[in-house]
Structure 1
């Protein structure tokens, strides 16, 4: 069944690629406006069979109607490819996702921020130590605990990394659980926690809105920079 949300989207991306001004769009030098070929229905069926889970509908139809990855938000949508008979996503940080556990639900309340709050309350303070060496040792030990909690695999169960925004900042697509189909920001490289992307009304952003909002802004950027894409 054709998903009308994707009608003309590939053509709009290709139109942008033809404009010199499209280089002004953030991340364009990374994805270079290239879209992978769409997946066939047999390929999609094989991918989901290997994963043991049905992908969110908006993402499934993107894969079969627009492309299996490429031009998109930031440095592009991570492509999904079959390598030696096994399907996987490729990109900076794609390996953070546990593909063997995608059928397990993403945490219902998100990645349990209360664990981080509790740990933050235990962060060493220099004035509590008589010797700077003791303080440095305590901070090093605390940092190890912080990293272990912040990047615990259980916090991203049931999700895949779909985009790299630079400087180890990434975005995830939730595949299973009550947040299925929504996109989450991952700024953990800056010691901030995962959080859902929200629209102007405070609603969680789903894959289709995430992608089309980027495309609309890319078109506006190209127009402001001297080009008008043909749709």
Structure 2
């Protein structure tokens, strides 16, 4: 019933991965077929998963790109890993994880055999039951204390242990997926956020004084597309009184009611804390395609000359991209910075500034003081600025671009705007 409701709710298959399975399951397996598989592979499947295979279907509809058939799950799991003992557990520390994957990340000369052995140890005692796309897969724990839990895996990145979902069994996890579709929750990264509706998460936040749990309870609200006024009041109280969770609360308010969140963003813009300014820029960037941000431009421009890191400068460029009042003069201190990384970020951030021709002096100063990479970055992000004073610099680097059709046309367009012959850069005279 819930699967049919989900199919009706997402009739156009807009949820990520839905177009691949279209909410249809494959033919069921018999109990004997499951038993034969277990005998062949010397593995006993967790009962909820075996129940899914025999009572619902042998794969098909499910989170992300769906659930593999038992045959495909087997072919996507190394037998050595399938028969190994699990070593992963929820709450694994970064130190434990890094030590576990050391051979996979630090030994460049590791043999294929040793690599496979180390990889199978990490994935031991689990069956690959589906993919989330790219490097991300879903596994089912077959043995040990966490038998039956679903694990989200990725590549072996230091400091990023694999993620155990909240549910203890496959069917609980699967049913939550259907429930959240039918409740019209955000489904892009299903299973990562704490389960529960607004009331349950608010109760969790109040009842558990553990900061990590409180953070997870708040983050769990990102799956809601809309929230009632009571929830907005709860978030507003946190935004005003709780410094640790203030930013998350403001993000949530802006996600569902940007007009209400704008008040808190303005307050943060007046903060002297650099991190607050960056957080505002990130929130504004998340909404800039759907919200008119003009009221924020003057406040941002007032803080422009106090930016001291690349990330803040980059996000400032994003927000001011549609602000016609922004000029290269605003970016000048960073365009002419002695820090090459800051300078590169500034060139990228200023890519949408109007009337670069009128600021040719700043550009020439960049070219004189910077190395050749500055010139290349300006061509990459800005194209060629059609001003006669800049032609010598473009002419000097022309041989590197002459045979590149993508960039050659930019050089030719510059000459056309200046009414110069197309062979200008090939001539010997300056």
Common topology (TM > 0.5): yes
Q: Does 1:56 align with 2:40?
A: no
Inter-partner Cα distance in structure 1 for 2:101 and 2:59: 38
Inter-partner Cα distance in structure 2 for 1:108 and 1:193: 9
Q: CA shift at 1:25, angstroms?
A: 2.0
Inter-partner Cα distance in structure 2 for 1:119 and 1:105: 14
Inter-partner Cα distance in structure 1 for 2:127 and 2:5: 29
List aligned pairs for 1:154-165, cutoff 5 A: 154-165=121-132
Q: Does 1:117 align with 2:117?
A: no
- CA deviations over 1:14-40 (Å, ceiling 9, x no partner): 343345645122211121212011111
Aligned Cα root-mean-square deviation (Å): 3.7
List aligned pairs for 1:64-143, cutoff 5 A: 64-81=54-71, 88-89=72-73, 95=76, 97-99=77-79, 102-107=82-87, 109=89, 114=95, 116-118=97-99
Inter-partner Cα distance in structure 1 for 2:36 and 2:55: 17
Change (3 A) 1:18 1:153: same
CA contact (8 A) 2:101 2:122 kept: no
Q: CA shift at 1:193, angstroms?
A: 2.6
Q: Which has the larger radius of gyration?
A: 2
Q: TM-score, normalised by structure 2?
A: 0.37
Q: CA shift at 1:120, angstroms?
A: 9.6
Aligned twin of 2:173: 210
Structure 1 or 2: more strand by fraction: 1
Higher mean C-alpha displacement, 54-63 vs 188-197: 188-197
Residue 180 of structure 2 aligns to a residue whose secondary structure is helix
- CA deviations over 1:35-87 (Å, ceiling 9, x no partner): 01111111111111111121001101111111110100111011123xxxxxx
Structure 1: segments with no counterpart, 5+ residues: 1-10, 82-87, 122-139, 199-203, 226-231
Aligned twin of 1:166: 133
Structure 2: segments with no counterpart, 5+ residues: 186-223, 226-430
Structure 1 or 2: more helix by fraction: 2
